[in-house]
Copies of this chain bind each other. A is one copy, B any other.
Amino acid sequence: MKNTGFQRQTRQRSVILDELRRAHDHPTARELYERVQIRLPRISLGTVYRNLERLHEAGMIRKLEYAGQETRVDGDLEHHYHIRCTRCHRLDDVPEITSDLVGQRFEELGGYRVTGHRLEFQGLCPDCRNETGE
């Protein structure tokens, strides 16, 4: 079994992960906290934040930080994209993306009328490549 970097297996962490795995939406830390709180009434929001950070480090969840609002978490590690409603801020998975993005106009995705998209690449900048030796 893969080393996750965890030192202890606590009830809090396992309930948090369980709620995330059963969630089919993309809850914020506070929403997740409220769900976990039903099962563990004395848990604190700070514990949820700390565990989300640890789970993220361990590669067990995705953080959806690029929404310009509260960070949301996704228990689904499969490679997939998201679509956000510009009016009510609802966030859904995009069912399937098949091909060419740039230059192509998606008119409709998963029932949404698509008006735009945002794309950000990640990587190591030239300076950091030098410093780390790639």
Given the contacts A63-B68, A112-B126, A97 and B102 also touching, CB distance less than 8 Å = yes
- Answer whether residue A78 sits at the interface, using C-beta atoms and an 8 A cutoff: no
Q: Given B99, B115, B122, B123, which contacts A102 in the complex, CB threshold below 8 Å?
A: B99
- A57-88 toward B: CB 8 Å interface, digit per residue (1/0)? 00000010111110100000000011111111
Q: List 16 A-B contacts (CB under 8 A).
A: A81-B120, A82-B120, A86-B122, A87-B125, A87-B132, A97-B102, A99-B102, A101-B119, A113-B123, A114-B123, A115-B122, A115-B123, A115-B124, A116-B121, A118-B119, A119-B119
User: Chain A residues in contact with chain B, CB under 8 A?
Assistant: 63, 65-69, 71, 81-88, 90, 92, 94, 97-103, 106, 109, 111-129, 132, 134
